[in-house]
């Protein structure tokens, strides 16, 4: 007779099922909020031109260092141009 006392639905929900359901949906809501906030931040950074480096612009000396590191210019040319830029 006991299984039929809840209207034929067995024992019904016990407290452990409710607790786990609340935890699951709570974590799911937090994850959704985090995803929305992260998406908004990424969109703002993309549309304002501010990336991970915080909007720093490459100076001529930075470009010179990069070109030398990639092997586009030789050591002598690098030293000459660096000396010109640092004056």
34 pLDDT exceeds 70? yes
DSSP per position, 13-81: --HHHHHHHHHHHHHHHHHHHHHHHHHHHHHHHHHHT--TT-S----HHHHHHHHHHHTSS-HHHHHHH
For the segment 38-52, what is each residue's pLDDT rounded down to a tens digit? Answer: 999 999 888 887 665
Residue 24 pLDDT: 92
Residue 72 pLDDT: 92
* Mean pLDDT of the residues in the chain: 81
Q: For the chain, give every domain's residue range.
A: 13-54, 57-87
């Amino acid at each position: 007779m006991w299984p039929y006392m809840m209207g034929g639905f067995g024992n019904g929900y016990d407290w452990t099922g409710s607790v786990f359901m609340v935890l699951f949906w709570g974590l799911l809501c937090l994850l959704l909020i985090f995803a929305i906030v992260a998406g908004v931040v990424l969109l703002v950074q993309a549309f304002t031109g501010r990336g991970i480096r915080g909007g720093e612009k490459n100076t001529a000396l930075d470009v010179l260092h990069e070109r030398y590191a990639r092997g586009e210019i030789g050591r002598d040319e690098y030293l000459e141009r660096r000396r010109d830029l640092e004056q």
